[in-house]
Amino acid sequence: MRCCFLIIAAVSALLLLPRDAAFAQPQPHAAASAEDTTVTIPLGGNAWGDTVWFRLSHPGKLDIAVKTTPTDTPADIGVTLGGLKHTLHLPAHTDRTTNTGHWLIRDTGYQHVIVDINRRGAEGLTPQAIQSLILSGPATAAPMSYVPNNEGNFFYWGRRGPSVHLNYPVPDTTEKVAWFYNEVTVPADQDRVGSYFMADGFSAGYFGMQVNSSAERRILFSVWSPFTTDDPRAIPDSLRIVLIRKGDSVHAGTFGDEGAGGQSYLVYPWIAGNTYRFLLHAEPQADNHTRFTAWFYPPEKGHWLLIACWDRPATHTWLTHLHSFLENFEPEQGDLDRSAYYGNQWIGDSTGHWTPLTRARFTGDNTARKGYRHDYQGGLQGDRFFLHNGGFFDTYTSLDSWFERPAAQQTSPPFNIDDLP
């Protein structure tokens, strides 16, 4: 498996290496023709520091202008594309759209423009000095990928980047799914801060591992309340998620903002390159409640750890809508890529019969569906599914594509229920 993983990682690295487009020397600006498309790229949803990203589908001439706000002193604005820079000089109190020149795009896909600003006679310039880039010319013909405005708070969602999912259909012959088992491997250097590698998703919650900061990582298990709200304090007592038990050192409380309910997490220094096991159990109760329990297996310890058991009221269900996902929850990290492998999926029914899940449908969130960003991939590598997002790579996977992995050789997943704490 280690050899297979290294080969897969090497192939992935070759596919995902950053690519700088080839450009002609920037030329003095020429007036755009009436047929040219004009596109406004607001920095609020498309810039990280001094770098602005957008995706082109057509080669040809690209004109770049900058829309500025007034400044008290003169400023020099440098615009760099493909390693070639053009500088324009703005007098004080300039409030206009100013052309910088044009470039010839030869390689399509994601482009990044570096904008550096120096105020003559002073250090730096406020970010508000440039509001947007104005693009025109044949290279801007549709389709393009960028965040066009902040409707729906998409400056936030677009800078987080597209979230991607693997949806696992349950065979028609399986009823009353009580168990869901999955394995997750994050390649080295893909464990970016702000990443959530969610392994066991279901209709009432989610279970996976996060990178919360450079110093902290978590194993997170959350269950939504059946009461629809983003404020956990608004949930009636009769519809609150109740903690039944939890593992040692596991924090348990509430969460909100994206629905609300019960949240549990274990601070654990999981390691990129290692494979971690996730197990979820559903147990409907006679009083129209259902208990959901999550266990985590770190190979460094060699045994299962209980995360938590939560009781969900007004719910009598087995596990449904099984899925995994990959997201970035830190907008400042949205220009970096992250990926993970998801393998050896199994479900167990209420009688103890186990079935491998071998098919997955690849989907994306609204950032992907709207075409605001196209840096997303999913599919099959070897005997595992994978997800990849962020970083503005060029090759993307069509949403709603189906993939099928080889069936497992064993007749049940590699654990014994009697060993669970």
Q: Name, in order, each residue with C-beta under 8 angstroms of 193's C-beta and a sequence gap of 6 or more.
A: 211, 212, 213, 214, 330, 333
Residue 27 is classified by DSSP as B
Q: What whole-number distance in Å separates Cα of residue 209 and Cα of residue 221? A: 9
Residue ending a domain, choose from 146, 181, 202: 146
- Taking alpha carbons only, the member of 334, 325, 326, 264 closest to residue 294 is 264
Assigned domain for 152 exists: no
Query: 224 is written with which tokens?
Result: 């939504």
Query: 173 is written with which tokens?
Result: 């012959």
Helix (H, G, I), strand (E, B) or coil at 149: coil
Assigned domain for 9 exists: no
Assigned domain for 8 exists: no
Domain CATH code at residue 111:
2.60.120.260
Do 241 and 356 belong to one domain?
yes
Full residue range of the structural domain in which residue 214 is found? 159-419
Q: What whole-number distance in Å separates Cα of residue 331 and Cα of residue 194? A: 8
pLDDT at 409: 81
Do 130 and 275 belong to one domain?
no
β-bridge pairing 195-202 and 177-185 = unpaired
| Longest alpha-carbon distance in the chain | 78
Do 397 and 346 belong to one domain?
yes
The whole-chain average pLDDT of the chain stands at 88
Among 25-34, 37-46, 82-91, 190-199, which is the least confidently predicted range?
A: 25-34
Count of the separate structural domains present in the chain: 2
Q: Name, in order, each residue with C-beta under 8 angstroms of 252's C-beta and a sequence gap of 6 or more.
A: 243, 246, 262, 263, 264, 308
Do 26 and 166 belong to one domain?
no
Do 32 and 142 belong to one domain?
yes
Helix (H, G, I), strand (E, B) or coil at 191: coil
- Taking alpha carbons only, the member of 191, 216, 353 closest to residue 276 is 191
Do 113 and 245 belong to one domain?
no
Residue ending a domain, choose from 115, 146, 177: 146
Average pLDDT of the residues in 50-76: 89
Do 266 and 360 belong to one domain?
yes
Do 326 and 273 belong to one domain?
yes
Assigned domain for 6 exists: no
Q: What whole-number distance in Å separates Cα of residue 306 and Cα of residue 309? A: 8
pLDDT reading at 326 higher than 50: yes
Burial of residue 83 (CB within 10 Å: 0-12, 13-18, 19+) is exposed
For the sheet with 109-119, list strands across it: 47-48, 51-56, 109-119, 75-81, 84-90
pLDDT at 404: 97
Strands (E), 160-315: 164-167, 177-185, 195-202, 205-211, 217-224, 242-246, 250-255, 261-267, 275-284, 290-297, 305-312
Average pLDDT of the residues in 249-269: 92
pLDDT at 36: 59
Assigned domain for 7 exists: no
Residue ending a domain, choose from 114, 146, 178: 146
Query: 4 is written with which tokens?
Result: 């297979």
Among 116-130, 131-145, 294-308, 350-364, which is the least confidently predicted range?
A: 116-130
Assigned domain for 11 exists: no
Q: Are 225 and 241 in contact (CB under 8 A)?
A: yes
Do 312 and 185 belong to one domain?
yes
pLDDT at 117: 79
- Taking alpha carbons only, the member of 241, 195, 194 closest to residue 222 is 241
Q: What whole-number distance in Å separates Cα of residue 75 and Cα of residue 97? A: 14
pLDDT reading at 390 higher than 80: yes
Do 121 and 179 belong to one domain?
no
Assigned domain for 186 exists: yes
Regarding predicted confidence, which is higher, 8 or 142?
142
pLDDT reading at 384 higher than 60: yes
- Taking alpha carbons only, the member of 90, 93, 49 closest to residue 71 is 93
Query: 91 is written with which tokens?
Result: 């007098």
pLDDT reading at 30 higher than 50: no
Do 207 and 291 belong to one domain?
yes
Q: What whole-number distance in Å separates Cα of residue 272 and Cα of residue 186? A: 5
Assigned domain for 153 exists: no
Do 90 and 202 belong to one domain?
no
